[in-house]
Structure 1
Amino acid sequence: MSPSGQKRACQSVPVDILSILPDKAIDNILMRLPLREAVRTSILAKTWRYIWCRLPQLELDESLWNLSQSSDPTPRFKDIVYHFLTLHEGPVTKFTFSIPNLKSYPKLDNLIYFLSRNDIQHLVLELPPVPGDRYKLPSSIFTCLQLRNLTLESCLIPLPPSAFKGFDKLISLELSYVKIPSKFLKSLISSCPLLDKLVLRIAESSYVIEINAPMLKSFHFFGDIRCICLKTIPRLSKLSLWCCEYLERSGKFDIAKFFEPISGLDDLHLDNHCVEFLARAGGAVSKRLPFDLNCVKHLYLHCSYLGKLDIISCAFCLIRSFPCLQYMEIQVVDYNDNNIPALECLEVEAFSDVIFDHLREVKLRNTVGSKREMQLIKLLLAKSPVLVKMVIEASWFVKTSATIKILKELTKFQRASPKAEVVYR
């Protein structure tokens, strides 16, 4: 091309090509950037100078400054909030606040008030835990009536004003290590008629939390399970229970009464401390619950100690009570101590009254090839006539010689299902 042709081609392209992009396209670009980088785009073009000020989704986190330069980001945070409050225009539908090492919360009250008046729908406040000095939320939090997702961590939630009737649009609520009046927590859950997902992480509690949520489908709880009481939860399909490691084992706990209300449960996740608590606080564990939970299709047992008879008995009490199980995953902890005898409750003969008619897939994780693990594998293969796949994942320290021995033994086990595939990793 001649020099004159090149000149004409260059002249046909707008000098400020960024400025002709549609507003929606520009907003989508900026919302995919960290806020620090989004603000820096103001130097790209004259028309981009204040575009970041209209973004509906913002995140204040440690990426806003270099924490290596200062251990206390509080002064810088104060300036950032000031500029945000004075320059931002339009609605803010999603806001995330997550800044570790923050010593205090200047202007955070003003920020929450600003969000309450600008259509906030998704609010995340993850505050650094400060023992005995938690940030107290302002009353303006209760005027965020457009909220659909709310996450609060390590803060103090006060009693609401009398005019507060609940978040009637909220579908997801996550509370982690917050301090909240017991009566209000109960009423908060029940006053969210559309609540679909609930996450509670409570290290210590001296009161019982009743869960009344007719639309609730997913519930994750970490803490002392004696402090929760499942009431009206007809749609609950996924339940995850994680007990505190230091949970006291004293007191009685009625396992049957706890599981009775969850008639629609599909997925059940239990960690080892939870199974251990159920085994010890539940008293003498029978072979099965007084009723079957035919709805449970997926069961996850994490860190199950195969060397402890009470834990194994409790785990299989539950498994026997879920006759329609289709998928089961067990992460085992077994140190292959040959001084611990194999457990009779894992023998195939002990399950003469049980057939896992619907079990199609099993995954065993962190295995070492102990006698108890091999008993469990043999039992599941012999009692699962429609089993399609069993995946056995070895612990990282299992030696090659042990692997060969395990594989040889696996080939000897009878399989009730002719289609069963055993994969050892």
Structure 2
Amino acid sequence: MGPGGEETAAKRANPSPAGEDRLSALPDDVLVLILLRLRTPEAVWTSVLSRRWRSVWGLLPELRFSYPEPHGLRDALAASAVPLRCLLVGGLRGAPAESIATWLPAAARRLSGDLILLDKGPERYASGGGGGGESEERGALELPCFEKATSISLDLGCLGLSAPPAGVFARLTELSLSGVRFHGPYELGGAVSSPRCPCLQKLTLQDVQGLDNLAISSDSLKLVALKHLRGLRKLAVVAPVVKELSVVRCFFCDRTRQPVANISVPQLELLTWVDAYDPSSMHLGKMENLKWLSTIFLVYGREGLAQNRACLMFVSRVKVIKHLTLILAYLQKINSYQYLMEDMTILPDTMSLHLILYAGRHSFGACSFHILRMCPGIKRLIMEFCDYFIGKTQAECPQGCICGQPSNWKTEELKLNCLREVEIRQFRGSDHELVFLKRLFTWATGLKRIAVAFNDSVAESTTKELCKMLRTFSRPEICMDFYVYQNKVKVLYASED
């Protein structure tokens, strides 16, 4: 044994006093930085290492769980006073309300940032979104007041929910509620209005039941999005700084009662209205700052469709708009219905037109031509092709289908001399798309640029051939760009000539 060998052997035989763990000797804030590099379940597992590690994970400022044990989560939240900047609980799997109520009050005391609760279980869809069956058995959850939270997003799979009876959400700026059934004596409108949500800027309600009357008065809201509020009868919004408002299929569900709306949003810039509209009982006030209008029109159907009437009323009351978005929707089977586009006789003067075509495999040339004929001064055109119908999967256009009529758009001339830029989205290269684009090039004599984004289902070899074909439609002065999706990211396509 060489010099020093006996000392080395002695150290191996007698390690550091008390089995020294230098990592555990680090201060809490350093250990927290280490655990932040782990997923929350992995951070929790470190609690079995030693007594020193047992409660360290409870000091984390961010917690993300999937299907947690409710009592364990409650105890963990109550064991620390460290403010939480994010609490995400996913995979609730249809948990009953009392299970969530076990730990939610403890979360309300600690949360100073974002709360996200997600339930994507099968119960949500088994009842068809009607609130019956298993979703009723889950009970109702009373949401506590999160005094320090800045953002709350709840997607609860038709779980019952009641607004907190008291308290102020003093720092809340964003609230999103989806898949909930409201009931109880406390109205949501009062809970989200300025006295109790003085900083709220964004409110989103989607797939919500039980709101018969929604009355909001807010000095801070800038965005209000209401989508599929089943059973809504009365809506009142007084919000002087709201810039964006969406009302989508909230009043259609009960056609036996006349909908009532009183909306005062004088600074409104973007309006999406896909719903019933009766000017005798629905008042929107002045919209002098409106820049974007989005609505929907059913191309085929029976005369007197409520949605088409609403669309025509909206587009007739707006004389000039900077951006107009029209959703042109088709039924899957149209041969027994009327062509309704002739009911639309006037559109606002607009600089930018966005046509979203839910046409499935039907021809969309006639309805698009009808719209463009009323918008000769547009400078920018976006056409978005949806290869399915509203709420329906795609289907082949049947032989002898009337979608090609009227066919005058294939031969009539159209002057779009102001059109400088065209953007095509979700291009698949169908015969209907190619025929229409070829005509569009002849109408837009001043066109400078066209951008085509292919649907991600189009094969590479097909993309290459379609690029060549589209270039034959074009002219030398037109700049053509093609885009494809790679890992859901839109990238410029470099085709080989």
Shorter-chain TM-score range: 0.5 to 0.7
CA offset at residue 48 of structure 1?
A: 2.5
Q: Is 1:383 aligned with 2:450?
A: no
**Contact 2:358–2:386 (Cα < 8 Å) also in 1:** yes
**Contact 1:177–1:201 (Cα < 8 Å) also in 2:** yes
What is the rounded CA distance, in whole Å, between the counterparts of 2:254 and 2:367 in structure 1?
20
- Provide the secondary structure at the position in 1 that maps to 2:92: coil
CA offset at residue 234 of structure 1?
A: 4.5
Between 1:214-223 and 1:186-195, the stretch displaced more is 214-223
CA offset at residue 81 of structure 1?
A: 3.3
Trace 1:264-303 onto structure 2 (pairs within 5 A): 275-276=297-298, 280=305, 281-283=307-309, 285=312, 289=316, 290-294=318-322, 299=354, 301=356, 303=358
Alignment-derived partner of residue 193 in structure 2:
190
- Deviations, residues 19-48 of structure 1 (Å, cap 9, x unaligned): 355644432442443332112113446533
CA offset at residue 372 of structure 1?
A: 5.0
**Contact 2:198–2:219 (Cα < 8 Å) also in 1:** yes
**Match among 47, 70, 84 for residue 42 of structure 1:** 47
Between 1:256-265 and 1:406-415, the stretch displaced more is 256-265
What is the rounded CA distance, in whole Å, between the counterparts of 2:360 and 2:236 in structure 1?
27
- Provide the secondary structure at the position in 2 that maps to 1:100: coil
CA offset at residue 132 of structure 1?
A: 1.6
Q: Is 1:112 aligned with 2:173?
A: no
Alignment-derived partner of residue 411 in structure 1:
471
How many aligned positions are there? Answer: 397
In 2 relative to 1, CA 315–234 (structure 1 residues): closer, same or farther, beyond 3 Å? farther
Q: Is 1:131 aligned with 2:194?
A: no
In 2 relative to 1, CA 50–262 (structure 1 residues): closer, same or farther, beyond 3 Å? farther
What is the rounded CA distance, in whole Å, between the counterparts of 1:306 and 1:287 in structure 2?
29
In 2 relative to 1, CA 235–193 (structure 1 residues): closer, same or farther, beyond 3 Å? same
Trace 1:18-37 onto structure 2 (pairs within 5 A): 18-19=23-24, 21=26, 23-37=28-42
In 2 relative to 1, CA 254–168 (structure 1 residues): closer, same or farther, beyond 3 Å? same
Trace 1:129-278 onto structure 2 (pairs within 5 A): 129=124, 130-138=134-142, 141-142=144-145, 144-152=146-154, 153=156, 154-161=158-165, 163-164=166-167, 166-180=168-182, 184-191=187-194, 192-202=197-207, 207=212, 209=214, 215-223=220-228, 232=239, 234-236=241-243, 253-254=276-277, 261=287, 263=289, 275-276=297-298
**Contact 1:157–1:179 (Cα < 8 Å) also in 2:** yes
Q: What amino acid is the match of 2:40?
A: L
CA offset at residue 174 of structure 1?
A: 0.9
CA offset at residue 173 of structure 1?
A: 0.8
Q: 1 or 2 for the larger relative contact order (CA 8 Å, sep ≥6)?
A: 1
Between 1:50-59 and 1:308-317, the stretch displaced more is 308-317
In 2 relative to 1, CA 122–377 (structure 1 residues): closer, same or farther, beyond 3 Å? farther
Unaligned runs of 5+ residues in structure 2 are 125-133, 259-274, 325-351, 389-393, 485-492
Unaligned runs of 5+ residues in structure 1 are 65-76
**Contact 1:294–1:324 (Cα < 8 Å) also in 2:** no
Q: What amino acid is the match of 1:118?
A: R
Trace 1:63-74 onto structure 2 (pairs within 5 A): none
CA offset at residue 370 of structure 1?
A: 2.2
CA offset at residue 352 of structure 1?
A: 3.2
Q: What amino acid is the match of 2:473?
A: F
What is the rounded CA distance, in whole Å, between the counterparts of 1:322 and 1:236 in structure 2?
26
**Contact 2:209–2:230 (Cα < 8 Å) also in 1:** no
**Contact 2:454–2:482 (Cα < 8 Å) also in 1:** no
Between 1:348-357 and 1:27-36, the stretch displaced more is 348-357
CA offset at residue 184 of structure 1?
A: 2.2
What is the rounded CA distance, in whole Å, between the counterparts of 1:26 and 1:269 in structure 2?
51
In 2 relative to 1, CA 177–201 (structure 1 residues): closer, same or farther, beyond 3 Å? same
**Which protein has the larger Cα radius of gyration, Structure 1 or Structure 2?**
2
What is the rounded CA distance, in whole Å, between the counterparts of 1:223 and 1:108 in structure 2?
25
- Counting helix residues as a fraction of each chain, which structure ranks higher? 1
- Counting strand residues as a fraction of each chain, which structure ranks higher? 2
Percent identical among aligned pairs is 18
**Contact 1:346–1:379 (Cα < 8 Å) also in 2:** no
In 2 relative to 1, CA 112–132 (structure 1 residues): closer, same or farther, beyond 3 Å? same
Q: Is 1:352 aligned with 2:403?
A: no
In 2 relative to 1, CA 401–314 (structure 1 residues): closer, same or farther, beyond 3 Å? closer
Q: Is 1:100 aligned with 2:87?
A: no
**Match among 416, 435, 438 for residue 374 of structure 1:** 435
TM-score, scaled to structure 2: 0.60
Alignment-derived partner of residue 81 in structure 1:
73
TM-score, scaled to structure 1: 0.68
Alignment-derived partner of residue 114 in structure 2:
122
What is the rounded CA distance, in whole Å, between the counterparts of 1:346 and 1:233 in structure 2?
45
**Contact 2:65–2:89 (Cα < 8 Å) also in 1:** yes
Q: What amino acid is the match of 2:109?
A: R
Q: C-alpha root-mean-square deviation of aligned residues, in Å?
A: 5.3
What is the rounded CA distance, in whole Å, between the counterparts of 2:222 and 2:54 in structure 1?
44
**Contact 1:269–1:301 (Cα < 8 Å) also in 2:** no
